[in-house]
Structure 1
Amino acid sequence: MKKQWKLVTVLLFLFVVSACSGKESTGQPSAEKESVELTISAAASLKDAMTVIQNKYKEEHPEVELKFNYGASGSLQQQVSQGAPVDLFFSAAEDKFDKLVEEGNIDEKDGTDLLRNELVLVVPKEGKTVIKDFHDLQKEEVDQISIGIPESVPAGKYAQESLEKIDVWKEIEPKIVYAKDVRQVLSYVETGNVQAGIVYKTDALISDKVNIAATAAADMHTPIIYPAGIIKNSKHYEQAKVFYNYLQSDEALKVFTEYGFITD
């Protein structure tokens, strides 16, 4: 009886060893990576490029669900300042980003200036227009022009700076129709609700309903820089760090370039 018991014990041991060896030979991990959801607050002008990047990242990191919150950088910054659960902030303005650094919400080592953009004057593609450059906004025939709210929409702030630089702001300010973000400005122009709007070049390039009438010279406004950074109190800091690094990869930068952003 004892010999039989020893035989059973030996056979069981060999079975366990064989099973373990089989698992190792397949190269399969003993457990799948833990699924996480990352919340990224990003400027509205980034939406199209980030949608492509989201899909590419999902292929490489199926365990990570990217949840995007798009809007005006100023509004998104205020949400983070008030404690909204965000893992990464991608702004269209340095001052909004710097405020989060000053508050201690983003560590300087976890932030970088990633992209640049240009500011353009757009008009509806359908119909005739008297607008060929920024000075034409003073013409009597032009009665409605849209820009983002300067206090919360960086593109709106850059637009106001540009119009002040060429000394036309005071004259055309009564014609301004303010929008909650740059995409709303684009929509107003596409639908013909306004005769012109000032948006980022990247926004104009994705629309087949507007024409670019003029591009603002670089010295007309504050440099348009897009910083990205990890929120310090992120519950998924390590996973956010991996995505943050991916945004700086050649693969991601190529996508941004294809959508008109400047990456050098």
Structure 2
Amino acid sequence: MKKFSSVFLTFFLIATMIFSGCQSKENDTGEQVEKDQKTTEKVELTVSAAASLTDAMAEIEKAFLKEYSSIDLTFSFGGSGNLAKQIEQGAPVDVFLSADSKWTDTLAKKDLVLKDTITSFTGNKLVLISPKDSEPNITSFQELKSNDWKQLSIGEPESVPAGQYSKDTLESINLWNHVKDKIIFAKDVRQVLTYVESGNADLGIVYSSDALMSDKVQVLAEAEEKWHDPIVYPAAVVKASKHQDEAKQFVEFLSSEKAQSILKKYGFKK
């Protein structure tokens, strides 16, 4: 009987050791799988960007992901002012790309972006456009004084940088009061482009990069830089971002030779 009990006890101990070993191995494997999953998880960055950057950012995104495969980018395009207000209201944004310094400075004063990340990464020019198949008798901004046109579209100056640059330009050449009653305001510069492409506006003022991307409009004239503030595009990391390191990598990439080459291709200028 004692012999039987001894044998049973030995068997029980061996079985317990084997089971414990398997359990430990299973736990180790589970922990390793979980660790590997965390390692391979992609960081998702949300980028709020001026509407004029739409086409260029599509290509810049591809170039960026080739170098930073562990990061995914999601873009939200619109008027810089509206995007800035969304950030003020707590929208989950990691990077802000504005079409002027005004809105980046506004967020900086409210301590909503990391000030040491603010970088002007590109610039632009302002142009007067019309539908490609039209024959306007206008070859300069000053000739807007004529009455040979009915409607001019520009961005809403209060929220769209291109709209503010346009208003400044028209005021500089003393034409704002002459044309303001014939203006169609748009929510962003891309809507201005759409109005002119569709013929809903005889004329429009957009960035040269927007005009370059459309085969439905023609450029009639280019605004002189002295007529408006310098057109610059600042980038900044949003302070509330949960992925500040990755956001900084994207902002830095915008000034890289590769990104600058793409921006130049789309009509932007440093």
Whether TM-score is above 0.5 comes out as yes
Give CA deviations for 1:149-187 in whole Å, capped at 9, x if unaligned.
000000000000000100011011100000010000011
Instruction: Tell me the residue number matched to 2:153.
Output: 146
> 2:109 and 2:76 mapped to 1: Cα distance?
22
Give CA deviations for 1:39-91 in whole Å, capped at 9, x if unaligned.
00000000111000111222222321100000000000101111111000000
Instruction: Tell me the residue number matched to 2:129.
Output: 122
Instruction: Tell me the residue number matched to 2:14.
Output: none
Q: Which runs of at least 4 in structure 1 moved beyond 3 Å after TM superposition?
A: 29-33
> 2:248 and 2:110 mapped to 1: Cα distance?
20
Q: CA deviation at 1:143?
A: 1.2
Q: CA deviation at 1:113?
A: 1.2
Instruction: Tell me the residue number matched to 2:46.
Output: 39
> 1:148 and 1:118 mapped to 2: Cα distance?
15
Q: Aligned residues, how many?
A: 238
Give the 3-state SS of the residue equivalent to 1:41 in structure 2: strand
Q: Percent identity among equivalent residues? A: 46
Does residue 1:256 correspond to 2:256, yes or no? no
> 1:64 and 1:71 mapped to 2: Cα distance?
23
Does residue 1:53 correspond to 2:57, yes or no? no
What pairs with 1:44-193 in structure 2 (closer than 5 Å)?
44-193=51-200
In structure 2, the CA distance between the partners of 1:128 and 1:239, relative to structure 1 (3 Å rule), is same
Higher radius of gyration, 1 or 2: 2
Partner amino acid for 2:93? V
> 1:93 and 1:109 mapped to 2: Cα distance?
17
> 1:225 and 1:127 mapped to 2: Cα distance?
31
> 2:64 and 2:148 mapped to 1: Cα distance?
48
What pairs with 1:175-254 in structure 2 (closer than 5 Å)?
175-254=182-261
> 2:166 and 2:128 mapped to 1: Cα distance?
9
> 1:181 and 1:195 mapped to 2: Cα distance?
17
Give the 3-state SS of the residue equivalent to 1:92 in structure 2: coil
> 2:134 and 2:118 mapped to 1: Cα distance?
45
> 1:247 and 1:137 mapped to 2: Cα distance?
37
> 1:213 and 1:71 mapped to 2: Cα distance?
25
Give CA deviations for 1:199-242 in whole Å, capped at 9, x if unaligned.
00110111111111000001000111100010111011111111
- Structure 1 window deviating more from structure 2 (177-186 vs 59-68): it is 59-68
Q: CA deviation at 1:148?
A: 0.4
Q: CA deviation at 1:138?
A: 2.2
Q: CA deviation at 1:247?
A: 1.3
Q: Which runs of 5+ in 1 are unaligned?
A: 1-28
Provide TM-score, normalisation by structure 2: 0.84
Partner amino acid for 2:217? V
Instruction: Tell me the residue number matched to 2:32.
Output: none
Q: Which runs of 5+ in 2 are unaligned?
A: 1-34
> 1:242 and 1:222 mapped to 2: Cα distance?
29
> 1:232 and 1:33 mapped to 2: Cα distance?
25
**Contact 2:87/2:93 (<8 A) preserved:** yes
Partner amino acid for 2:88? S
Give the 3-state SS of the residue equivalent to 1:79 in structure 2: helix
> 2:249 and 2:232 mapped to 1: Cα distance?
22
> 1:189 and 1:250 mapped to 2: Cα distance?
34
> 1:104 and 1:83 mapped to 2: Cα distance?
13
**Contact 2:136/2:149 (<8 A) preserved:** no
